Amino acid sequence: MKNKIKNSILFLLSLFCLIACQNEDIVPMQVDAIVAEPGDLLNQSFPLKKVRVEGQSLAGLKQIILDNKIDVSFNPTYNSDKSFIFTIPFDVKKGSRFGKQTITFITASGSVTKDFEILQPLPTISGLTPETPLVGKTAEVTGDWFYDVSSVTFKGNPIGFTVSSPTSLFINIPASATSAGDLVITTPSGSVTRFMEVSLGFTIVNVTDFDGGGTRPGSGWFSYGDVASFNAATTGGPTGNYAQYSWTGATTNGYNGSSGGEGATFFAANPSYTDATKAYIDIDVSANVANAHFAIQLNTIDGKDYGYNFKVATTDWATKSILIADFKDNYGYGGNAAGTDLDVSKIKEIKIAIVQGDTPNPTIIKFDNIKIKYKI
């Protein structure tokens, strides 16, 4: 009997020693690093990116809790005793936020809580609707990471905006905008820039830029009347080549001018554009003397001719915008205004000339970037 008791005690002591030795071999759960993949961000990551947790006794991962409230999903397949991989979630509806927060890992052997930081990505712009916004109207900007937008600027000036979602915001196009420029959206993480064209509310036809563009390219321009020389490819204009017309004062013909020739009407695709009070001629002009006297003539397919005469105050390049309703018949000297009977959709030719009957008469006029536009 004594031997049985003795043997039982020895067995229990041996079992206790075995268990104690096994417990000494168990390494407690340990997280050494949280590394964003790809890259080398340590204990921080951008949203929706994979991170790799490195440590010991990580097998049997049961749960990941972010910021004490967000249950993070993971794939047990990518889990070993030394590491596991998961993706940083981001859903504001579930309470996701940027900045420093805690992350807790729970395994079969215990749990570890570490400090972690979710970085805010730079905003992105993927599109504009409409692609060329109308001045004075709103436009939608689509993209991503529109969180905590602090400002939106156009050409360096703040403009109104409303964020509708992290992927969409609406901007107010200034009514005073006259040209394209950079649209910049700024958040705490930085800024994104996109070049944005704007519509001034006109359908614009490029007649010629004397650089090969337009419905009447510079190569087709010619001169007539009392002209000394004409060059439709003179270098050094405001945007490249320009046309230069020289006159020595001859009056043999009593007139002079230049033209890109006749052709299809400029608004052939828009026959409803008839109102001269909604149409303009834009042209860049210069001359070799101040107060140079220019003349512009419009010819239509029904045989009507209208003119507009104007002076340029200096020899510097200037942009002239002329309402077509201000043109008059008889080469600009008649009594009938174009606004009463000129059908803009029928204009087929534009001529540029020097007014010979006035002083000072320039010997040289220069012009470039001729456009005809219609208010829509």
Q: Which residue has the tokens 């000339």?
A: 353
Q: Which of 279, 290, 288, 289 is nearest to 350 (CA)?
A: 279
Which residue in 181, 150, 177 sits closest to 163, CA to CA?
150
Segment 292-348, tens digit of pLDDT: 999 999 999 998 899 999 999 999 999 999 999 999 987 767 677 776 788 999 999
If pLDDT is split at 50, 70 and 90, which confidence band does 154 have?
very high
pLDDT mean over 138-158: 97
Average pLDDT of the chain? 89
List pLDDT tens digits, range 96-115: 999 999 999 998 778 899 99
Domain boundary among the residues 196, 222, 244 is at 196
For residue 185, give both structure tokens. Answer: 């959206």
pLDDT at 6: 55
Q: Are residues 51 and 77 in the same domain?
A: yes
pLDDT at 28: 82
* 175 and 208 part of one domain: no
CA distances from 279 to 89, 307, 331, 338, 375 (A): 56, 14, 19, 11, 6
Radius of gyration over alpha carbons of the chain, in Å?
38
Same domain for 131 and 238: no
C-alpha–C-alpha distance, residues 344 and 206, integer Å: 15
CATH number for the domain including 315? 2.60.120.430
Is residue 2 domain-resident? no
Q: Let me know whether 326 and 365 are in one domain.
A: yes
Whole-number pLDDT of residue 76 = 81
Q: With a cut of 60, say whether residue 9 has pLDDT above it.
A: no
φ, ψ dihedrals at 241, nearest 5°: -75, 160
**Is residue 256 within 8 Å of 362, Cβ to Cβ?**
no
> Is 322 part of any domain?
yes
User: Do both 212 and 188 map to the same domain?
Assistant: no
Share of the chain above pLDDT 90, in %: 69
Q: How confident is the model at residue 24 (pLDDT cuts 50, 70, 90)?
A: very low
Q: What is the pLDDT at residue 356?
A: 84
190 strand-pairing partners = 187
Q: Let me know if residue 6 belongs to a domain.
A: no
Is 5 contained in some domain? no
The reported pLDDT for the residue numbered 26 is 56
Q: Smallest Cα–Cα separation from 151: which of 192, 125, 184?
A: 184
Q: Is residue 4's pLDDT more than 70?
A: no
Averaged over 347-376, what is the pLDDT?
A: 90
Gap between the Cα atoms of 312 and 349, Å rounded: 23
Where b means 16+ CB within 10 Å and e means fewer, 102-134 reads ebbbbbebeebeeebebebbebebeebeeeebb
| pLDDT of residue 18 exceeding 50 | no
Same domain, 169 and 103: no
Domain coverage including residue 130: 124-196
One domain for residues 36 and 141? no
The residues, ordered by sequence, that sit 6+ positions from 259 with a Cβ below 8 Å of its Cβ are: 221, 222, 224, 349, 350, 351, 352
Percent of the residues in the chain that have a pLDDT greater than 70, as a whole number: 91
**Number of domains observed in the structure of the chain:** 3
Both 209 and 342 in one domain: the answer is: yes
Residue at token pair 């397919």: 301
Query: Looking at the structure, do residues 98 and 174 belong to the same domain, yes or no?
Result: no
- By DSSP bridging, strand 138-144 and strand 151-154 are unpaired
Which region holds residue 125: left if phi is over 0, alpha if psi is between -120 and 50, else beta? beta
Instruction: Say if residue 291 is in the same domain as residue 328.
Output: yes
